[in-house]
Amino acid sequence: MKTLLMILTLVVSTTLGTGYLAKAQDSSTKKPAGTTGITFFQGTWSEALAAAKKQKKLIFVDAYAVWCGPCKFMANNVFPDKAVGEYFNKNFINYKFDMEKGEGPEFARKYQVNAYPTLLFINAAGEVSHRQTGASDAAGFLKVGEAALASTK
């Protein structure tokens, strides 16, 4: 009986948790009009590279997994921050990449993403200019962005 109860609890929590995790990541990519925070590029990786070249900007990549707690923290608390949005939208092409879906596994192999979140700053040629692994608060994340820009000068 205990085994059956444990299995049932696991199934229910997994089912409910999956919807929550997907919502947590979607919250930063589909913002209602008038909200602040990072605006993520809606296109393919090759289109993001082309935009970076045209605009002469680095690409900030949020390499995440939907089950990752620190990734959810960043999506819910840091990416929506007004100051973070203003800085990152001005200075970077912002891109989210689920490392377990679509082109994500190939991207993870190419850019050696082994932990989540991995925050990459990639130039238009596809080369990493700055990298950080792990979550931070808004102030710390702004410092990561500043360090990324400084590394290109």
Contact 129, 115 (CB under 8 A): no
Considering only the C-alpha atoms of the chain, give the largest distance between any 2 of them, rounded to a whole number of Å. 64
Active centre residues (catalytic)? 68, 71
Separation between Cα atoms, residue 60 and residue 91, nearest integer Å: 9
CA dihedral sign, ordered 96, 17, 141, 36: positive
Closest by CA position to 83, among listed 123, 51, 37, 45: 37
